[in-house]
A and B are shown apart, each in its own frame.
Chain A
Amino acid sequence: MHIAIIGNGISGITAARFIRKLSDHQVTVISAESKYFFSRTALMYIYMGHMREVDTQPYEPWFWEKNRIGLVQDYVKEVDTQGKALHFTKQEPLKYDKLIIACGSKPNKFGWPGQDLKGVGGLYSLQDLQAMEEGSEGLQRAVIVGGGLIGIEMAEMFHSRNIPVTLLVREKSYWNMVLPKEESEMVNRHIKEHHIDLRLETELKEIVDDGTGKACAVITNKGERIDCGYVGLTAGVSPNIAYLKDTGIETQKGILVNDYLETNIPDIYAIGDCAQLREPRPGRRPIEAVWYTGRMMGETLAYTICKKPVAYDPGIWFNSAKFLDIEYQVYGDIQSKAPENHAAVYWEHKDGRKSVRIVYDKNSGAVLGFNLMGVRYRHEVCEKWLAEQTPIEKVLTNLGLANFDPEFYDEYEQDILAIYNQQAGKNLILKKRRGLSRALEFLQKTGSA
């Protein structure tokens, strides 16, 4: 059987690797962007000079040959679902028995005037990075539109080269649709202390042409003109599926798939950023454009194809990011506007760059989520607490089990518990401090997930 995979990102590559692990099917991975799989999440580090492009490739070139995973670098123009073939811009068509679509996203553009000028670009692909690199030569200022995770990465990138940056954010506070108020404000402060010009409640109205087809300024909704040589568009991403228009594959925002990641057409599957679940699990979004969901989908699908059908289960939500120097981790259900039944313990370090928020259910007392800034927590421990709906007091008195900060770091569990004690008028005492043995003991305890 020949399995063709469009897209060599994390989801396509994970599918290919696991298909190879589980079977002897012929596998071909296609991407127009690059021959070898690289980590998209590391794009910023190439620009900042932390790594070279090769360093972002998780596997050496021989890996693909050794594992008999065919690589094709070409653009798929058209999918012939009837004849089961792919048509390319350059090479001959390729027949497949099963097709996995893992073609990822593209940056959103909302029809701004001037959005296609030279010196305007998103940050998604190696080609985008190339454009940024070229645009950086002698650059006096960059304006970035959109206050999400990629926006702040782009700001950090220009900043690392001492290029002044203005960051336009539509909301009242940075990423406040996701981050609770305090955390969002912490990031605002941090952006400003890095001397990045943060403009809240400011939207892009138009990008100005300098007369040669190149951007020279932006005009905001407040009518202000900001001169700049580069405009970064980072107002989110959406599935990159225009080329599938007339194939009969059912799409909405993304490619619609069922729990088994199957599209409406037999033998065609979609995974990763481009897949839209028809029935997402409660509390989850139909498209989750993050790294690990792509990885899990790839692995699940390989199982479905090679062994037996397995439904995609993303488990308990988690994610991580980094806002300049502040690391961010989240486990479970953290809402920016806490619903009625959510209560929280919130602790913030006096340096204003670290905080821990633990959310629990007011009524049942079960822990619901962890939101961490500048502090690292152990994934498995948090997950087990969440899965078992552990009472908040049990979580807090054992909080050391979750601590994943490096050795010799200050431990804040005592302070966090003190806040709860004060809020609840209790006198709980911290039982478990940081340590691997204790954490392992907890994780290996029988009778739990």
Chain B
Amino acid sequence: MTLIQKIGLGIFIIGLLIFTASLGLDKYELSADSLSISNEYHAAEILEVAEQEGMLGQTYSSSFDFISAFKGVLKKAQTSLNTKAKENGVPEGVGEWDYKMGDWVLKDYILFTTKKSATGPVSNNPALFLFLSIGLGIIGGLIYIFPKFKLFPGIKNDRIYHRPMTKGIQFSVRSFFLLATTVGILLYGVYYMGNEYFWPALTAVVALLIIAIIWFVEDQRKRQPARSASVDFSGWLGILTGAYLIGFYVLLYWKAEYITPWMIIADPLSLSLSGNEASQWFLYGTLYTVIVLVMGVRMFTKYMHNRYQLIRTGSVMFFQTAIAFLLPEILVRLNYPYYDFKNIWPLNYTFFFDWNIQNLVNSGGLGIFMLGWGIALVVLGVPLITYFYGKRWYCSWVCGCGGLAETLGDPYRQLSDKSLNAWKIERWIIHLVLVFAVIMTMGVLYSFLPKEGAWFNQRTFLGLMIVLLLGAMSFVYLRWRKDRFNFSTLGILAGWAVTLILVGVSAYHLGTGDGKFLFMSSGVTRQWYGFLIGAGFAGVVGTGFYPLMGNRVWCRFGCPLAAYLGLVQKFKSRFRITTNGGQCISCGNCSTYCEMGIDVRWYAQRGQDIVRSSCVGCGICSAVCPRGVLRLENSAMDVNTRATELRALHITEEEVSII
């Protein structure tokens, strides 16, 4: 590390410390002004209660004290409004819930009131703190990165496994983290769902089932997935980073009221872009974009010699900055709906939600275009472009999650688990998430439909679904019998089981006409999906586990869009990674640096092309191979026989030949 780099690192750390410390610098004081509540009944009641409780005008030194006091006030105000409504009735012409205070409004009341009630250095000088935290972070990061442009172009993986930041952690520690996080999320899920046990319990049961299948049916118990874990505890910096990220996501998704100072810091930027104050999502978007950009520059230094990497990294930087971050804010400023043109269902699981569709439909021509665009991407864009170029066009060129993984996550790519076990687990989870996403969305669409009447009603929907499900599964089954699809017998059986359950339940609803969908109301299903998959999996585990399990935890195990893209890639795409004859020396660089945990070497050393549904086409395996063995290629010549060992060196019954 040069002196300049040390200075850069120092500045970055100062920025990070100020950013973290800014959460505790302000004091909080509730006043009539800081109460960010537009509902007059609620506001008046809360003020009154606050007055009685002596909260008004009192200064709290931490957000914890303030929020707990304010929660007490809200509870009291809620009860007293309820009693009033019971005794006197709701005032003339006012809706029940415009008068009474529902539980669902509390979250926003707390969040925005806390934000407004802050006084002190941060809220008085948001721009200064923006500079001192995120600004210094950027400057320090770039100062640290820039000198690397002077190094020789070439592979720069020296000492990755010697650094406490990137060497990974022991298998048992990793498992502990994963278990603790999963159990924590499930327990919190019970609370989040309003003490409903059904969904958390169902998730736990499914998780146990997957483990049971892998352990007992597929008999993998003894096969320790040790291929991604460090041997000792020396990867402490990675553990700290992981813990910081996990903490960040937990606060962001579920306890945003404790990070209001960060929202305040982001206010100046938000105001100048969309004219609105910053929400926690704007703050997140800003950080996300800044990180993709700065770490993208780092990618440039690391792969100076590899133009594929340079262009690809440029592409994710562009899509994140322009399409995901700036454009939606500008749309909002122009009074159009917030829309990220590159976000595709089912990754963008809210796309078919009623509020989104209504919002789009109500926004005139552009809104309708957005709706059409979103649907076209799902039904045409994904299969077509994936046919031509493989899923990489999205996963490592466009997608925001992919963009973060390829920039911030690059230093951790070697930590992905390459064991066969991990691959098995991956296939179960990711396809189940896809099924879950589809079912949830169908439930949502179903709830739009009339029960009876119109030509397309809930009954036609169910009927159509039964036919389609049976048809699709039979198709897969027949192709599988003909050996065209490479699934295990267990996989096919599981497919049939899921299909038959869905068909059975749908037939039941069709018979009774009870207006439900798979026994569930779509509201609860979607709430749980958002909590578990949208926040818990994609955020907390997906990114928080970068330093623990590699940078594509979400993309590999959880993303339903990746599952969809992967199916196309596996079964109908021109894309593959070709292997250069007999040049492979089995060194293992390719497997080690494959972020998707694909054992690339397994194929390369046999001279076999690599066709794997999970491959995101990042091209790193090809870049790090010291013998020039791998190339990402597209060709329609042999789409159905891409992965044969045809081009390996081999011996046949008849002769020894080198093909």
Instruction: List residues of A whose CB falls within 8 A of some B CB.
Output: 10, 39, 41-42, 45, 48-52, 54-58, 60-62, 160-161, 193-194, 291-292, 295-296, 299-300, 303, 307, 310-313, 315-316, 318, 320-322, 324-325, 327, 329, 376, 378-380, 383, 404-409, 435-437, 440-441, 443-444, 449
Contact = CB atoms under 8 A, between A and B. Distances in A.
B591 interface: yes
Contacts of A303: 651, 656
A436 B157 CA distance: 30
A56 B587 CA distance: 6
Nearest to A409: B307
Contact of B585 (A55, A291, A325): A291
Given A61-B223, A406-B631, 4 more contacts: A54-B227, A161-B158, A379-B583, A406-B632
A297 to B, nearest CB: 11
B172 interface: no
Q: Which of B414, B586, B634 has the most chain A CB atoms closer than 10 A to its own CB?
A: B586
Contacts of A405: 631
Contacts of B6: none
B585 A39 contact: yes
Interface in B638-659: 638, 647, 649-651, 653, 656-659
Contacts of B649: 292, 295-296, 315
Contacts of B261: none
B192 interface: no
Interface stretch (B22-30, B159-167, B370-378): B159-167
B582 A318 contact: yes
Contacts of A327: 626-628
B313 interface: no
A196 to B, nearest CB: 12
Which one of B230, B311, B585 has the greatest number of beta carbons of chain A within 10 Å? B585
A322 B626 contact: yes
B651 A49 contact: no
Nearest to A18: B651
B238 to A, nearest CB: 14
Contact of A51 (B589, B623, B647, B659): B589
Nearest to B605: A58
B155 interface: yes
Q: 6 closest A-B pairs (Cβ-Cβ)?
A: A379-B581, A325-B154, A376-B628, A42-B587, A49-B159, A436-B635
Nearest to B224: A61
A355 to B, nearest CB: 14
B308 interface: yes
B148 to A, nearest CB: 15
A51 B161 contact: yes
Given A50-B592, A380-B659, A329 B583 contact: yes
Given A55-B227, A300-B651, A318-B583, A42 B588 contact: yes
Given A60-B227, A329-B583, A440-B637, A48 B158 contact: yes
A62 B223 CA distance: 6
A194 B158 CA distance: 15
B656 A408 contact: no
Contacts of B223: 60-62
Interface in B578-601: 578, 580-583, 585-589, 591-592, 601
Interface of B: 152-155, 157-163, 222-223, 226-227, 230-231, 305-308, 311, 414, 419-420, 578, 580-583, 585-589, 591-592, 601-602, 605, 619, 622-623, 626-628, 631-638, 647, 649-651, 653, 656-659
Contacts of A194: 152
A41 B419 CA distance: 22
B574 to A, nearest CB: 9
Nearest to A310: B656
Contacts of A61: 223
A60 B635 contact: no
Given A48-B158, A49-B157, A406 B637 contact: no
Given A41-B587, A50-B161, A55-B588, A60 B419 contact: yes
B622 A320 contact: no
A67 to B, nearest CB: 13
Nearest to B631: A404
B588 to A, nearest CB: 5
A160 B581 CA distance: 30
A58 B601 contact: yes
Contact of A49 (B152, B158, B581, B656): B158
Residue among A58, A312, A409, A443 having the largest count of chain B Cβ atoms under 10 Å: A58
A436 B419 contact: no
B602 A58 contact: yes
B158 A50 contact: yes
Contacts of A316: 658
Given A313-B656, A408-B308, A440-B635, A48 B159 contact: yes
Contacts of A296: 582, 649
Contacts of B647: 380, 443
6 contacts: A50-B160, A295-B649, A320-B585, A325-B154, A379-B581, A404-B580
A407 B632 contact: yes
A95 B152 CA distance: 55
A22 to B, nearest CB: 10
B628 A441 contact: no
Contacts of A435: 635
B650 A42 contact: no
B602 A50 contact: no
Contacts of A299: 650-651
Contacts of B653: 307
A57 B605 CA distance: 12
Contact of B159 (A161, A322, A449): A161
A438 to B, nearest CB: 9
A58 B604 CA distance: 11
A248 B227 CA distance: 43
A310 B653 CA distance: 10
Contact of A39 (B308, B580, B586): B586
A4 to B, nearest CB: 23
A434 B588 CA distance: 27
Contact of B582 (A379, A441, A444): A379
A315 B607 CA distance: 16
Contacts of A55: 227, 588, 591-592
A446 to B, nearest CB: 14
B153 A325 contact: yes
A55 B231 CA distance: 12
A39 B587 contact: yes
Contact of A311 (B154, B222, B656): B656
B1 to A, nearest CB: 10
A143 B267 CA distance: 60
A320 B628 contact: yes
A406 B307 contact: yes
B626 A52 contact: no
A329 B161 contact: no
Contacts of A437: 635-637
Contacts of B153: 325
Contact of B651 (A310, A380, A436, A449): A310
B578 to A, nearest CB: 7
B582 A292 contact: yes
Contacts of A408: 307-308, 311
Contacts of B578: 436
A210 B197 CA distance: 74
Given A329-B628, A408-B308, A378 B158 contact: no
A401 to B, nearest CB: 13
Contacts of B626: 322, 327
A51 B420 CA distance: 19
Nearest to A65: B222
Given A49-B159, A315-B658, A327-B627, A436 B307 contact: no
Contacts of A193: 152
B658 A325 contact: no
B656 to A, nearest CB: 5
A63 to B, nearest CB: 9
A163 to B, nearest CB: 12
Nearest to A382: B581
